[in-house]
Amino acid sequence: MRLDKLLVELKYGSRKDIKQIVKGKQVTVNDVIVRDSSVHVDPLKDVISVNGEVIHYQPFFYFMLNKPSGYLSATKDGLHKIVLELLSVEDQKRDVFPCGRLDLDTEGLMILSNDGQFAHQLLHPKKEIYKTYYVEVDGQLTEQDVAIFLMGMEILDGQNEPYMTKTAYLEILSSGAQSTANVSICEGKFHQIKRMFQACDKRVTYLKRVSMGSLKLDADLALGAYREISEEERALLFENDEDLVRKVGEDH
């Protein structure tokens, strides 16, 4: 990329400012003083310094967002607000996109990144990484529902074709005319959780994703807030939570 574009991105000033800095012989690339601010550099390979200070270039960003209801998991939409609007102006320029979808009215953990390869791996169905949702439903949840979620059930997928769900874990938290539960699934068909409860004659009234793999939604993140995640946290996304199977699976 062009040196001036890179230094503007890194907040060294405007393109005009960068021209002046370069003119003042304050910029080196691999220890050679640069004379032309439009020169092309590879920020991942070249050692670039400004005023003797080596610059740090971060190409990829990974954010955890606590998605509120009313925001679409998309990069543009003419009708609804989109999750990218919740990012600062600076972070909106980083070309991040939602890694996976949550319904308009679903809240909770959403990962945003500009790393396409990472997103591809994260969403790959073969990985069978479980995502856990806290759910409130109209109707009484029973042990029979737990068994149905475990065994799999037929729902309609995004194309309204019949689809057999994979092993899902339903942990009932409270049961009555309205019930609450944690439910974990390792796939993401259109409206999957809502359709699974519908298949069991329950209606989802509230849905919030609380974890992906072993990464939990940060309890300190208010609705609509987001933060960068560390490399360690990123790795947790690719590991299933060992407690999950123990909590529900062993009893059945």
- Residue from 17, 46, 91, 103 carrying the catalytic annotation: 103
Q: What is the C-alpha separation between 146 and 249, in angstroms, rounded?
A: 9
Active site residue 4: no
Q: Which stretch binds ligand URA (CB under 6 A): 59-67, 115-123, 186-194, 230-238?
A: 186-194
Q: Does 186 bind ligand URA (CB under 6 A)?
A: no
Half-sphere exposure of 104 (CA within 13 A, CB side): 5
Q: Exactly one of 194, 202, 208, 234 binds ligand URA (CB under 6 A); which one?
A: 194
CA-closest candidate to residue 138, choices 206, 58, 68, 69: 206
Q: Exactly one of 6, 7, 129, 193 binds ligand URA (CB under 6 A); which one?
A: 193
Q: How far is CA 231 from CA 60, 114, 179, 226, 237, in A?
A: 11, 15, 37, 16, 10
Q: Does 111 bind ligand URA (CB under 6 A)?
A: no
Q: Does 106 bind ligand URA (CB under 6 A)?
A: yes
Q: Exactly one of 191, 198, 223, 240 binds ligand URA (CB under 6 A); which one?
A: 191
Q: Exactly one of 184, 192, 211, 214 binds ligand URA (CB under 6 A); which one?
A: 192
C-beta separation of 146 from 249 below 8 A:
no
C-beta separation of 61 from 228 below 8 A:
yes
Per CB under 6 A, residues contacting ligand URA are: 102-103, 106, 191-194, 207
Catalytic residues, by residue number, are: 103
